[in-house]
């Protein structure tokens, strides 16, 4: 197994941050062949999604999360910025992990799929993500 923790700067706004190139670079540096890439976000307020980016789907995801988990005062978890309690519910909808097959050293993603960190927590501008390659 090869594992590495990376730092991702998400800033002070909600974001869907594409990690695909970083993941592929990690696999190249690990001399990956066939196996599995596991991606883990060790945070209570962030998740990982396999989604198309750049054509509006990333913004649509954030809008849908805003509809399902509005940033208002309904949440019992009340520290941080207004509506921050919804960020703690996010991982139940967008899990903090993703696993992707690796074939011949490349991510076996579909044509439009990307591995993305989903971060709605505007109070935490820096995230950690652990990449782990498990050889087959």
Between helix 85-93 and helix 57-68 the angle, nearest 10°, is: 120
Place of tokens 């519910």: 89
Tokens 């509005």, residue located? 70
What residues of the chain score a pLDDT lower than 70? none
Please give the structure tokens belonging to residue 12: 């002070």
Per-residue confidence (pLDDT) for residue 39, from 0 to 100: 98
Domain total for the chain? 1
- pLDDT score at 26: 98
- Predicted confidence at residue 80, as pLDDT, reads 82
CATH of the domain at 52: 2.60.120.460
pTM above the 0.85 mark?
yes
Question: In terms of residue numbers, what domain contains 46?
Answer: 2-135
What beta strand segments (E) does the chain contain? 2-9, 15-18, 35-40, 46-51, 97-103, 106-107, 114-119, 126-135
Per-residue pLDDT tens over the stretch 43-70: 999 999 999 998 999 999 999 999 999 9
pLDDT at 86 (0 to 100): 93
| Cα–Cα distance measured from residue 64 to residue 47, given in angstroms and rounded to the nearest whole number | 15
């Amino acid at each position: 197994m090869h594992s590495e923790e990376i730092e991702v700067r998400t800033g002070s706004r909600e974001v869907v941050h594409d990690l695909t190139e970083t993941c592929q670079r990690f696999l190249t540096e690990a001399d990956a062949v066939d196996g599995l890439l596991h991606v883990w976000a060790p945070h209570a307020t962030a998740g990982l999604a396999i989604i198309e980016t750049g054509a509006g789907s990333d913004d649509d995801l954030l809008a849908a999360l805003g509809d399902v988990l509005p940033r208002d005062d309904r949440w019992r978890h009340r520290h941080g910025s207004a509506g921050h309690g919804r960020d703690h519910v996010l991982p139940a909808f967008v899990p903090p992990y993703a696993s992707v097959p690796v074939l011949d050293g490349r991510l076996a993603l579909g044509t439009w799929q990307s591995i993305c960190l989903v971060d709605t927590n505007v109070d935490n501008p820096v995230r950690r993500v652990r990449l782990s390659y498990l050889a087959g």
